[in-house]
Amino acid sequence: MDYEAFFSGHLTRLRDEGRYRVFAELERIVGAFPRARLHSDGAAPRDVTVWCSNDYLAMGQHPVVIEAMTAAIGAQGSGAGGTRNISGTNTLHVALERELAALHGKQAALVFTSGYVANETTLQTLGAMLPGCEIYSDAFNHASMIAGIRHSGAVRRIFRHNDVAHLGELLAAADPARPKIVAFESVYSMDGDVSPIGEICDVAHRHGALAYLDEVHAVGMYGARGAGVAERDGVLGKVDIVQGTLAKAFGVVGGYIASSEATVDFVRSCGAGFIFSTSMPPAIAAAALASVRHVSAHPELRARQQERAATLKRRLAAAGLPVMSSATHIVPVSVGDAALCKQASDLLLDRHAIYVQPINYPTVPRGTERLRLTPTPLHSDDDMTRLVAALQDVWQTLDLGLRAAAEQGSLGRRVAAE
């Protein structure tokens, strides 16, 4: 087989479809977020405004986090020294896990190198080792959950997105004696919609299933202490296993699960993705610990971020731009074509120094391509004014069409209500 020709041909098809991903080389600037420096071959670096970061609360550059990381590097060095089982369990890992368990009201927590690894390892381990396990997965679940379920070898059943009735029908048809897991998310990151956590947990428990909730786009962002949508909705106690990330609202890197002591110890003892991975560096754990504590104690960060998101939705709608319905901090703007979505992203960067990555298939279904905006507490009104004007210019250049006045008013009222 001509391997090089195969690889090149596939890449050519991606380019022809407008789905080939080009990485922008950004240099983050401490104290200047959401500004960053864009580096391009053959050109001088230039400042851009970032509108698509998952550092939702700008904690990645917060002095509390930076100081904690710097102090830990000075005290303990860089690496962790090995896997957790051999030489890599650190006092800071233990402290971070205790903090995360307390945040979610669970007995124990376990830290992984990423949220992807946390999902894949936990679902794979549970699905493979629970005898005859069936896993019920929301149709819109993240790739990491899908990978874990597939690799587990467990029977997989897909229920329609956020459809509690359909989930109930599937569970009712199952053997009551078989172990079952219902896996779903709280905030779905591409549309910004929210699941009915309490109802899903109730249906799961009614049929003897564990409720496994991915809160990666919600931890830090919702609830009195930032424990996520389950805390906000008063249903933390109904969730059997919660999975979260340290890489988004907490601004660092890593993932985790929180659950009962036995569940966490089972995954710790049997999960290959945990056992055979070098552990998180102590400095990362220190930064994450400082961030979790700070975010939990400062609800005003969440309030400011929600205000920024609501304001941006209203301004986009008022400008006739096709902002998609979203009940969360995520603000998607519909394009509906992969090539045009890439062109819109390129024009925003080249003409207006605004960085927003295109969201194309397979991240979203074909025909639903969009720009995904994530306002933070540090995006100003002036930043929004420039963004809206830039989007209008790009929409006109690409002949994407702006909404009519009557449609604008209707959309604006709906977005404001959300």
The reported pTM is: 0.93
Fold of 63-297: Aspartate Aminotransferase; domain 2 (3.40.640)
Distance separating alpha carbons of residues 206 and 239, to the nearest angstrom: 13
Task: Indicate the pLDDT class of residue 402, thresholds 50, 70 and 90.
Answer: confident
* Local structure of residue 178 (DSSP, 8 states): S
Predicted local distance difference test score (pLDDT) of residue 18: 82
Distance separating alpha carbons of residues 36 and 49, to the nearest angstrom: 6
Predicted local distance difference test score (pLDDT) of residue 415: 45
- Going 273 to 215 to 284 to 357, the CA torsion angle's sign is positive
Average pLDDT, the chain: 94
Strands 43-50 and 108-112: unpaired
Q: Where are the domains of the chain?
A: 18-50+299-417, 63-297
- Which pLDDT tens digit goes with each residue over 119-156? 999 999 999 999 999 999 999 999 999 999 999 999 99
First to last CA, the chain: 54
Distance separating alpha carbons of residues 285 and 290, to the nearest angstrom: 9
Torsion angle of C-alpha atoms 363, 367, 373, 374, degrees rounded to 10: -40
- Which pLDDT tens digit goes with each residue over 84-95? 999 999 999 999
Distance separating alpha carbons of residues 75 and 67, to the nearest angstrom: 12
One-letter identity of residue 277? S
Active site residues: 248
The CATH code for residues 18-50+299-417 is 3.90.1150.10
Question: What is the rounded average pLDDT of the residues 355-361?
Answer: 92
Distance separating alpha carbons of residues 63 and 41, to the nearest angstrom: 32
Question: What is the rounded average pLDDT of the residues 322-346?
Answer: 94
Establish whether the linkage from the previous residue to 63 is cis, with ω within 30° of 0: no
Q: Quick check: helix, strand or coil at residue 358?
A: strand
One-letter identity of residue 206? R
Which helix (H) or strand (E) segment holds residue 332: the answer is strand 331-334
